[in-house]
């Protein structure tokens, strides 16, 4: 059978995992589509966008810490940082007492644009949540907690 027409069968035990990944991907795509990709992401690679999102959530990380969080090699993150610095989106900051350590931060303009984009996504999701019935909305905190535990478990795999 040609490779183009061959399909991989998903074991039935993996079916819930496949459905969950599909649902999470669909939610992420929908939130991005509703909010728009935003000018901050227009010309970025996926890895660059991931680093920007990480620095938005956790400013002041070192290159090594960012690499660990992203599951990448430090030299790869260093390359991303260089590109983002040249684009005016990230800056390297040295702080006392140890001036040898470089911390990464979004530039004020990048932070402002990221905040606006995140606000649009959150507002769109809030509107969508209002369309769910009350019992569904009441189950969301437990579902979010479960997803966080699942993400932690995935890190341990």
| CATH number of the domain enclosing 87 | 1.10.10.10
Asked if residue 133 has pLDDT above 60, the reply is yes
Residue 155 belongs to some domain of the structure: no
- pLDDT band (50, 70, 90) for residue 84: very high
C-alpha 55: how far from chain center: 10
Spatial neighbors of 66 by CB under 8 A, at least 6 apart, are: 51, 54, 55, 77, 81, 104
What's residue 151's pLDDT?
A: 86
Distance CA 29, CA 49 (A): 14
- pLDDT band (50, 70, 90) for residue 8: low
pTM, to two decimals: 0.73
User: DSSP states of 76-94 as a string?
Assistant: HHHHHHHHHHHTTSEEEEE
Please count the structural domains in the chain: 1
Task: Please give the radius of gyration of the chain, using alpha carbons only, rounded to the nearest integer.
Answer: 19
Asked if residue 152 has pLDDT above 90, the reply is no
Place of tokens 């800056």: 91
Residue 1 belongs to some domain of the structure: no
Distance CA 64, CA 62 (A): 5
Residue 7 belongs to some domain of the structure: no
Assign 3-state DSSP to the chain and report helix, strand, coil percentages, each to 5: 65, 5, 25
What's residue 39's pLDDT?
A: 63
Q: What is the DSSP letter of 8?
A: P
Asked if residue 11 has pLDDT above 70, the reply is no
Which residues span the domain enclosing 124?
Answer: 39-128
Helix then strand count (H, E) for the chain reads 6, 2
Residue 144 belongs to some domain of the structure: no
Spatial neighbors of 157 by CB under 8 A, at least 6 apart, are: none
What's residue 9's pLDDT?
A: 59
């Amino acid at each position: 059978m040609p490779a183009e027409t061959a399909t991989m069968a998903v074991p039935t035990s993996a079916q819930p995992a496949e459905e969950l990944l599909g649902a999470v991907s669909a939610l992420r795509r929908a939130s991005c589509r509703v909010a728009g990709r935003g000018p901050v992401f227009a010309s970025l690679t996926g890895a660059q966008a991931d680093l920007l999102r990480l620095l938005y959530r956790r400013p002041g990380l070192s290159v090594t810490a960012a690499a660990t969080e992203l599951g990448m090699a430090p030299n790869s993150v260093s390359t991303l940082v260089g590109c983002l610095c040249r684009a005016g989106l990230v800056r390297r900051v040295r702080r006392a007492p140890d001036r040898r350590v470089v911390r990464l931060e979004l530039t004020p303009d990048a932070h402002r644009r990221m905040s606006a984009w995140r606000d649009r996504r959150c507002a769109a999701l809030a509107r969508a949540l209002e369309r769910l019935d009350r019992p569904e909305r009441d189950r969301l905190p437990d579902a979010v907690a479960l997803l966080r535990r699942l993400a932690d478990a995935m890190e341990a795999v």
